[in-house]
Structure 1
Amino acid sequence: MYLADRSAPAKTATTTTASRSGGTARVVGSTVLALGAVSLITDVSSEMVTAVLPLYLVVGLGLSPLGFGVLDGVYNGVSALVQLLGGHLADRVRNHKLIAGIGYGLSAVCKPLLMLVHTLGPLGFALALERTGKGLRTSPRDALISMSTAPENRGRAFGVHRAMDTTGAVLGPISAYLILRAATDGYDAVFGVSACVAVLGVLVLVLFVPGRAKTAQADAATGTATDPSATAPAANAPSTTGPSAADPVRRVDLREALTLLRLPRLRALTGCAALLGLTTVSDAFVYLLLQQRIGIGEQWFPLLPLGTASVFLLLAVPLGVLADRIGRRVVFLAGHAGLLVAYGLLLWAPHTAALPYLVLALHGSFYAATDGVLPAAVADVVPEQLRGSGLALVGTGQALARFLCSLGFGAAWTVWGDGPALAGAAIGLLCCATAAGFVLRPSGPPAPGTTAPARTTP
Structure 2
Amino acid sequence: MKAITRTIWILSLVSLLTDTASEMLYPVMPLYLKSIGFSIVLIGVLEGVAEAVAGLSKGYFGKLSDHSGRRMPFVQWGYFLSAISKPMMAIFITPVWIFFARTIDRLGKGLRTGARDAILSDEATSATKGKVFGFHRSMDTLGAVIGPLLALIYLQFHPEQYKNLFIIALVPGLLAVGCALLLKDKNRRLKEAPGRVSFFSFFHYWKYSPAPYKKLVAGLLVFTLFNSSDVFLLLKARQSGMTDAGVIKVYIFYNLVYALSAFPIGSLADKLGLKRTFLFGLFLFSVVYAGVGFSSRPYLFYALFFLYGIYAAATEGVSKAWISNITDKKDTATAIGTYSGFQSICAMLASSLTGWIWFQFGAGAAFLAASVVTIFVIIYIGLYISKTNPELQQESA
Structure 2 match to 1:357: 302
Q: Percent identity?
A: 28
In 2, the alpha carbon distance for the partners of 1:401 and 1:251 equals 34
Are the equivalent residues in 2 in contact too, given 1:68–1:410 (CA < 8 A)?
no
Are the equivalent residues in 2 in contact too, given 1:276–1:433 (CA < 8 A)?
no
Letter in 2 for 1:190: L
Structure 2 match to 1:220: none
Q: Give the TM-score, by structure 2 length.
A: 0.89
2:124 to 144, 149, 173: 149
Distance 1:328 1:311, change over 3 A: same
Q: Give the TM-score, by structure 1 length.
A: 0.78
Structure 2 match to 1:39: 15
Structure 2 match to 1:441: 386
Letter in 1 for 2:314: A
Report how far residue 265 of structure 1 moved: 1.0
Q: In structure 1, the residue corresponding to 2:312 is in which secondary structure?
A: helix
Structure 2 match to 1:210: 184
Are the equivalent residues in 1 in contact too, given 2:62–2:334 (CA < 8 A)?
yes
Distance 1:187 1:288, change over 3 A: farther
Letter in 2 for 1:212: K
1:399 to 336, 344, 355: 344
Are the equivalent residues in 1 in contact too, given 2:212–2:389 (CA < 8 A)?
no
Structure 1 match to 2:287: 341
Distance 1:444 1:415, change over 3 A: closer
Are the equivalent residues in 2 in contact too, given 1:146–1:154 (CA < 8 A)?
yes
Report how far residue 256 of structure 1 moved: 8.9
Are the equivalent residues in 2 in contact too, given 1:52–1:302 (CA < 8 A)?
no
2:213 to 266, 269, 272: 266
Q: Which has the higher helix share?
A: 2
**Deviation by residue 1:275-304 (Cα, 9 ceiling, x = unmatched):** 11101021222222212223313x444333
Structure 2 match to 1:425: 370
Distance 1:248 1:116, change over 3 A: closer
Asked if 1:287 is matched to 2:234, the reply is: yes
Structure 2 match to 1:303: 249
Q: In structure 2, the residue corresponding to 1:374 is in which secondary structure?
A: helix
In 2, the alpha carbon distance for the partners of 1:46 and 1:347 equals 29
In 2, the alpha carbon distance for the partners of 1:368 and 1:256 equals 28
Are the equivalent residues in 2 in contact too, given 1:170–1:306 (CA < 8 A)?
yes
Asked if 1:186 is matched to 2:137, the reply is: no
Matched ranges for 1:20-31 at <5 A: 25-31=1-7
Asked if 1:368 is matched to 2:368, the reply is: no
Are the equivalent residues in 2 in contact too, given 1:91–1:387 (CA < 8 A)?
yes
Matched ranges for 1:376-387 at <5 A: 376-387=321-332
Are the equivalent residues in 1 in contact too, given 2:250–2:302 (CA < 8 A)?
no
In 1, the alpha carbon distance for the partners of 2:70 and 2:32 equals 38
Q: In structure 2, the residue corresponding to 1:304 is in which secondary structure?
A: helix
Distance 1:61 1:316, change over 3 A: farther
1:74 to 49, 62, 71: 49
**Deviation by residue 1:112-168 (Cα, 9 ceiling, x = unmatched):** 132246576654443222111111111100000101111111111111111111111
Are the equivalent residues in 2 in contact too, given 1:72–1:406 (CA < 8 A)?
no
Distance 1:90 1:328, change over 3 A: same
Alignment coverage as a number of residue pairs: 392
Matched ranges for 1:56-205 at <5 A: 56=32, 63-64=39-40, 68-116=43-91, 122-205=97-180
Q: In structure 1, the residue corresponding to 2:391 is in which secondary structure?
A: coil
Q: In structure 1, the residue corresponding to 2:240 is in which secondary structure?
A: helix
Are the equivalent residues in 1 in contact too, given 2:59–2:334 (CA < 8 A)?
yes
Letter in 2 for 1:204: C
Higher relative contact order (CA 8 A, sep 6+): 1
CA RMSD of aligned residues (A): 2.8
Are the equivalent residues in 1 in contact too, given 2:85–2:105 (CA < 8 A)?
yes
Q: In structure 2, the residue corresponding to 1:371 is in which secondary structure?
A: helix
